Amino acid sequence: MDECTAGAEGDPSADRDGLPDPVAARLFILLVRRSRGVTDLVEALLGRPVRFRRLSQDEIPRIRPPGLLQLRTTGPVLHRHVLLSDTLRPHLPVAAAWALIVPWHLPEDVRAALLHGDEPLDRLLTGHGLEWTAEPVETEIRTVAEASSPFPWAPPATALVEQTRRLLDQHGTPIAVTIDEVPFLEPRTDPELPLLPAWWESGRG
């Protein structure tokens, strides 16, 4: 795990290569694991809202029995991929959110919002007033170099937490399984300071 830890330029806990000490990385991993969803987490770390862009969405009409046991369904399910980016220019990505959703386990207005909107599932559920919980399923530690989307502000060796959760409604009915990719992100002391490409930071230093 220590080999995968990484951080931001200027972090006092970082070593000479800009990578944080193992304690900082482990605390970040724990923070991601204990969070309910990715959107509130990255907004809290940045100190400002993030913007959303839906990269893909498709329906899987049927899954061969016994189906998806964690979601208690054989289909249809909705496969969704959303990118979360900084609201400040140059609008660099800060996280990626994947979801496998059971649409018919959701109210009609939420299903419509899923089909036509760009919001990540956690923000969409909260925005529609649904009561829901998230169960951590699996936590994997990778690097930014292995991510599904580029994160130009982070060096390739930066730790990336891949957190899988199962989302349930207030009655315990499974809504979705989500996978969030979150690179190590040091809390911003200045919310007006944008994320910049790593080459810019290193060149400036």
CATH code: domain of residue 48? 3.40.1410.10
Residue 84 lies inside a defined structural domain of this protein: yes
> What was the pLDDT predicted at 194?
94
Residue 204 lies inside a defined structural domain of this protein: no
List the 77-86 sheet strands across, edge first: 50-60, 77-86, 93-101, 174-183, 159-169, 132-143
Q: Cβ contacts of residue 57 below 8 Å, gap of 6+? A: 78, 79, 80, 81, 114, 115
pLDDT band at 9 (very low <50, low <70, confident <90, very high): very low
Residue 112 lies inside a defined structural domain of this protein: yes
Number of domains present in the structure of the chain: 1
pLDDT digits (tens, 9 = 90+) for 109-145: 999 999 899 999 999 999 999 999 999 999 999 999 9
174: its two tokens: 């499974």
Percentage of the residues of the chain whose pLDDT score is greater than 70: 87
> What was the pLDDT predicted at 24?
85
CB count within 10 Å of CB 47 equals: 13
**CA distance linking residue 47 with residue 15, whole number of Å:** 25
Residue 135 lies inside a defined structural domain of this protein: yes
Residue 203 lies inside a defined structural domain of this protein: no
Residue 119 lies inside a defined structural domain of this protein: yes
Domain that holds residue 29: 2-190
> What was the pLDDT predicted at 20?
63
Q: For 152-173, what is the mean pLDDT?
A: 95
Predicted model pTM? 0.87
Q: For 2-18, what is the mean pLDDT?
A: 41
Residue 199 lies inside a defined structural domain of this protein: no
> What was the pLDDT predicted at 67?
85
pLDDT digits (tens, 9 = 90+) for 24-81: 889 999 999 999 999 999 999 999 999 999 999 999 999 998 889 999 999 999 999 9
SS (H, E, C) 104-158: HHCCHHHHHHHHHCCCCHHHHHHHCCCCEEEEEEEEEEEEHHHCCCCCCCCCCCC
Residue 104 lies inside a defined structural domain of this protein: yes
| 94 closest CA partner among 187, 22, 157, 3 | 187
